[in-house]
Each structure stands twice: as C-alpha cells, then as structure tokens.
Amino acid sequence: MTAVFWFLAGVTVLAAAGVMALPNVFHASLCFALSFFALAGVYLTLGAEFLAAIQILIYTGAIAVIIAFAVMLTPPAIGHSNLSNRQRLWAGAVALLALGLLAGGLVPVRWPEPGPLRATSAASLGELMLTRYVVPFEVAGFILLVALIAAITVAKGALKP
C-alpha cells in the first residue's frame, strides 16, 4: 500500500502546484479537482473509507465543479491569469513568515508512532457526531444555514432594479 500512498500523495502535491503555476485558469481549476481526487485516494489507503467518499462527493464533485463552472462563466479575456507581478518581495516575505509559523508549530510536536491502521466505519463516525461532538456539529450546521440564507438574499438583491 505504501507505493500507492506515495504515488497518490505525489499526484496531490503536483496537482496542487499546477493550480498555482498554470497560466490557464480553467486548467488550474481542473488541477484543483485532480488534487482533491488524489487526496481521496490517500484517505482510502489510510483506511478512511467514509472520509474518502465524502472527499470525492464534496470537494471533487461540488466545490471543484462550482469553481470550474464559475471560470467558464467569465469572459475568455480573463481566461489567462497573470502569473507574475511586482509584489515578489512582499509575497516572498509573507511566504517565509507563514513557513516559519507553521514549522514552529509542527516541528516540536512528538508524533505518535504509526501503528496498525484501524478502519473507521460511517456508523461510529455518525455516533460520535451526534453524541460527543453534537455541539460543534450543530454549530457547523447553523453556520451553513446562515450562509445559505445570506447567499439567497444577496442573489435576490442583485435581481432588483
């Protein structure tokens, strides 16, 4: 399984790099989808069946598609993004800062030894969500509802003369 894992991990990272490096916005959005899809495969090799299915359903099937859809709605003149500008210095500084912060947080952590993988079933996940994590679960649902209503309001407002 390790070879499959590394292959999929490589595809995930390369596709993610493609999102940033490709000049064509539509190609970039497809790379986005590929990255999500390969990540679902990574989850599968780690025994997280449910997470993999959800990853494909939500990220590849919904988010990436909506992004590609939005790109198609833009006029062809914006189809090619400008990859370089005069902000390189600032961008580099921000990137270094982010790297430093992340490394500062991640390096000191003592990761547990990788033991045998346990498959998590959808049933046990659902059980946890409705017992131990019921408050975060409901809060997330509520926030999504608010976002939904807000989106409808914005769209309705745009229709009025």
Q: Coil, strand, or helix at residue 24?
A: strand
CB of 104 to other proteins, least distance (A): 37
Q: Which of residues 56-75 bind other proteins (CB under 8 A)?
A: 56-57, 60-62, 64-66, 68-69, 72-73
Q: Where are the alpha helices (DSSP H) in the chain?
A: 2-21, 25-45, 49-54, 64-73, 88-106, 122-130, 134-159
Q: Considering the rule CB under 8 A, would residue 22 count as an interface residue with other proteins?
A: no
Q: Considering the rule CB under 8 A, would residue 149 count as an interface residue with other proteins?
A: no
Cα gap 91→85, rounded to integer Å? 10
Cα gap 49→39, rounded to integer Å? 12
By CB under 8 A, name the binding residues for other proteins. 1, 3, 26-27, 30, 33, 37, 49-50, 52-54, 56-57, 60-62, 64-66, 68-69, 72-73, 119, 121-123
